[in-house]
Structure 1
Amino acid sequence: MTSATTGSETAPTHSDRQDVARRLLDSSEALSYDPTQEVDWETPLDTDFHGASPEWSTLYGTSYWDEMTPDQRRELTRQEAASVASTGIWFEMILQQMVLRDFYAKDPTDPAFQWALTEIADECRHSIMFARGAAKLRAPSYRPHRVVIELGRAFKALAFGEAAYAAILVAEEVLDVMQRDWMRDERVAPFVRTINNIHVVEESRHMKFAREETRERLANASRPRRQINALVISIVSYFIVTSMVSKKVYANAGLDSKRAVREAKNNEHHKSLLRSSCSGLMEFLSSAGLLTKASTWFYKRANLI
């Protein structure tokens, strides 16, 4: 495969892709975690801690937040963190199936093939870790709306190439930015900070691979193909981001659900936080030719632009 341009970037060659995969395999061997050993699962939940940085709460900056007691604020962030974790599990299961399907019957001696299996193994551990973390936060099982679940079922069965890998990248990038804040915040429960640290370290390798795969799959892609996939990726991104915090978290935190949903929907602080945190992601999508007029509409709806 020869080098080709993708947007304003140079697409990686097959040799480049193999080199990246080898480096990621080496990194995984040198620095990976076992959540069953690294996370403190035994110490009971200390309700004096938040589940996420308060500034990332969907109600932070609203009049409702100002009226809430410290206990209510902490409980809300714990429920929101559990909801984000549950959404992460949902999408990680989609991710695993797409990667397995993509590498089905390919050369197992290829470092990219071996890295793909390594990434799947990581995602399995992450999903179990998120599930145990949500349970320790005393949260119920939060799931996306039934329609979104069915759309995800179709996407994992049909998506391929850059549509699959760029969508994976969006989900991982959005989680990465917020979790980097949470893992450094001493107001957040220690076991949650450990979970976030593990995920950030290991997902950084996954994001590198997703970027390389996206660039390679777009090499020599036609303009119509870029336009179609840009739209698909933006729609998937919209459903991922808008599903992260379930509306049920407010009632489970003891709040007036209708008022909370209304104020969260109009929370300019949270919208601004999402936009600023996704600036690097949008730059990549733009450089790859995946930020079109149609796709921008969905990113704006999801408050990513």
Structure 2
Amino acid sequence: MSSTANAQKPRLAEAIASLGDTVSRLSHLSKRSYQNPYITLQQWPEEVRPEEDWFSSPEYVSLYGTPSWEALDEPTRRRLAFHEAVNFYSLNIHGEKGLMQGLAQRLYRKDLVDVSEYLHHFLDEENKHSIYFGGFCTRYAKVYRSRQFALEETRSQSVEDFLFFAKTMIFEEIVDRYNWVQARDARLHPVARFINDNHHVEESRHLVFGRQLVTALWEACVPSWGDDTVADLRRQLEQFFVVSWREYYNPDVYADAGLDDPWEVAEQAWSAPAQRAHRRAVSTKVLAFLTEAGILDKEPADAF
């Protein structure tokens, strides 16, 4: 083992141990609010009416503020909002599959044992979220495919851990803003409001844990990573912003909503000034955290 790695180990152990109070507090809250997803939402509607009810807040539909949105009649806007809700839930299903796998791999690992108690709750709650998201998609529509792919790279364990938890935090910060807004939107169908509210309540704990763990990993490891590694990490996180946001502009959604030229619609929506401003506004909180912590040194321009 290199002298750099040897120097990193005690800093990392101290950083993980410093999360003890947070782990205990969040674990207590998870136990106190424990729920059974098979009875909490006791009855799913037999059917839904995509052209009559809102399932996404219109201001959070990916075409909002664009010429394409202005050209749609009201029933088509609602139908599009329904398919965007299905896409949003599908993004969470795919994201949570990878998250659950990564959490399971890190359970009781010797250097992370001080946070294992909360990793159990984290994993349990992500599984429950998938039950709600999947329940909606499979009852009323389908699970949209994900176009993300990951290249296998050989990295040090500390870099892998940092990227895993940092990407998780970015994904969940964006999702949580959608959840928070839509849980409070009285226009939405009650099932859509429930799914968004339930996810927000539990994700708020995950985000507290994620911010503290990402900060601890960064501060403990960055002194020994070197400039090239830091630059590569920043590049990967900037790229992750882009690929994460891109999936909110899904040509399959536009096709299912009955729109012509769905790929062209996706490109026009991605580039629209109103949507660029929307992505920046939703990302403001997590960008502020990452820049204040020194993790990012500039805004990921390609995303906005």
| TMscore range, shorter length | 0.7 to 0.9
**1:263, 1:21 → 2: CA distance?**
44
Equivalent pair of 2:57/2:182 in contact (CA under 8 Å): yes
Query: Which residue of the partner structure matches residue 56 of structure 2?
Result: 52
Query: Which residue of the partner structure matches residue 8 of structure 1?
Result: none
Query: Which residue of the partner structure matches residue 202 of structure 2?
Result: 202
**1:100, 1:115 → 2: CA distance?**
12
> After the TM superposition, which of the residue ranges 27-36 and 180-189 deviates more from structure 2?
27-36
Decide which of 65, 71, 77 is 2:75's aligned counterpart: 71
Structure 1 residue ranges (4+ consecutive) displaced by more than 6 angstroms after TM superposition: 1-4, 152-159
The 1:24/1:79 distance shift into structure 2, 3 A limit, reads same
> After the TM superposition, which of the residue ranges 169-178 and 37-46 deviates more from structure 2?
37-46
Decide which of 124, 128, 143 is 1:125's aligned counterpart: 128
Amino acid at match of 1:202: E
Query: Which residue of the partner structure matches residue 34 of structure 1?
Result: 36
1:173-194 deviation line (CA, Å, top 9, x unaligned) = 0000011111111221110110
The 1:301/1:130 distance shift into structure 2, 3 A limit, reads same
**1:248, 1:156 → 2: CA distance?**
34
Amino acid at match of 1:292: D
Segments of 5+ residues of structure 2 without an aligned counterpart are 1-8
Amino acid at match of 1:204: S
SS of the aligned residue for 1:91 comes to helix
- Summarize the alignment of residues 1-305 of structure 1 with structure 2, pairs less than 5 Å apart: 13-39=15-41, 40-47=43-50, 48-106=52-110, 110=113, 112-136=115-139, 138-145=140-147, 148-149=148-149, 151=150, 160-220=160-220, 221-222=222-223, 223-224=226-227, 225-256=229-260, 257-293=262-298, 296=299, 299-303=300-304
The 1:21/1:176 distance shift into structure 2, 3 A limit, reads same
What is the Cα deviation at residue 104 of structure 1? 4.6
**1:235, 1:165 → 2: CA distance?**
15
Equivalent pair of 2:16/2:115 in contact (CA under 8 Å): no
Amino acid at match of 2:190: P
**1:35, 1:208 → 2: CA distance?**
23
1:75-113 deviation line (CA, Å, top 9, x unaligned) = 1011011111111111111111222223354389x5510
**2:156, 2:37 → 1: CA distance?**
30
**1:78, 1:192 → 2: CA distance?**
10
Amino acid at match of 2:276: K
**2:233, 2:155 → 1: CA distance?**
14
Equivalent pair of 1:84/1:245 in contact (CA under 8 Å): no
What is the Cα deviation at residue 251 of structure 1? 1.1
The 1:280/1:258 distance shift into structure 2, 3 A limit, reads closer
Segments of 5+ residues of structure 1 without an aligned counterpart are 5-10
> After the TM superposition, which of the residue ranges 269-278 and 174-183 deviates more from structure 2?
269-278
Higher relative contact order (CA 8 A, sep 6+): 1
**1:185, 1:153 → 2: CA distance?**
41
What is the Cα deviation at residue 262 of structure 1? 4.1
**2:111, 2:49 → 1: CA distance?**
49
Matched positions, count: 288
Amino acid at match of 1:172: E
**1:156, 1:198 → 2: CA distance?**
36
- What is the RMSD of the two structures over their aligned residues, measured on CA atoms? 2.8
TM-score normalised according to structure 1 size: 0.85
**2:266, 2:170 → 1: CA distance?**
24
**1:93, 1:156 → 2: CA distance?**
22
> After the TM superposition, which of the residue ranges 83-92 and 232-241 deviates more from structure 2?
232-241
**1:25, 1:72 → 2: CA distance?**
44
**1:157, 1:72 → 2: CA distance?**
49
- Aligned-pair identity in percent equals 25
Equivalent pair of 1:18/1:112 in contact (CA under 8 Å): yes
